[in-house]
Amino acid sequence: MNRIKLLIEYDGTDYIGWQNQNNGRSIQQEIENCLNQIFDQNIRLYVSGRTDSGVHALGQVAHFDLKDDKIKKENIFLALNNYLKKRNNKITILESRGVKDSFHSRFSAKKKIYLYKILNRKTPSHLLANRTWFIPIKLDIKSMQISSKKLIGKYDFNAFRSVDCQAKTTIRSIENISIQKKNDEINIRVSGKSFMHNQVRIIVGTLVNVGKGKLNEKKITEILRSKDRRNAGPTAPACGLYLEKIFY
């Protein structure tokens, strides 16, 4: 067997998320269908981390195993993009290359960076409607930056996960949170090894409440200690979230 690593970019707006499901188009299904056509094999993709419906990716990573050892692995992405285009997909394969059998897109990952984009101005943008969270109220960036530091470290993040999350443990480590504003756009980057379902979006929603003056730095610590989802902020919309980069 030959193991192939793919670097993937996609607009998640029209998909039900990464994982195959019976109620719509998934990123996984679309890429697998194209691979099956190209190689006439039943190929399964393994991904670094599933993304939800509406969530985008700038640097998603997946791998699959291929029986054919004669094909040029570095050219697979060209064929894949051709087939994806024919199926009217908003998915681009940025790179394909051979890796060792010991590589696993999920279990070999050392760190992930998620990017969340907020459009913070009085008027919405049709161009960015499915790419950012539009918030017309001016946010206090400084307060958000100060409060975000309370979430950096190893904690029980039970208050910051979806009620539908099935993770066996709620202990997670956040390596860094950076918040920067350029013109009308706020970029929030959250990095760590792994995240629970909706964890990044709930963190963003909570920090936005800080920016609106509804919460303060002290309250963030209280929310963490409470381990109660009801005390944290709203789950930020999926449209502003991007899986930006994965480190191996």
* Catalytic residue list: 52
Residue 151 contacts by C-beta under 8 Å, 6 or more apart in sequence?
A: 160, 174, 177, 203, 220, 224
Question: 């990716």: which residue's tokens?
Answer: 57
Using H for helix, E for strand and C for coil, what is the string for the chain? CEEEEEEEEECHHHCCECCCCCCCCCHHHHHHHHHHHHHCCCCCCEECCCCECCCEEEEEEEEEEECCCCCCHHHHHHHHHHHHHHCCCCEEEEEEEEECCCCCCCCCCCEEEEEEEEECCCCCCCCCCCCCEECCCCCCHHHHHHHHHHHCEEEECHHHCCCCCCCCCCEEEEEEEEEEEECCEEEEEEEECCCCCCHHHHHHHHHHHHHCCCCCHHHHHHHHHHCCHHHCCCCCCHHHEEEEEEEC
**Which single residue is written with the structure tokens 């009308």?**
184
Taking the chain, what is the end-to-end CA distance rounded to the nearest angstrom? 22
188, 194 contact by CB (below 8 A): no
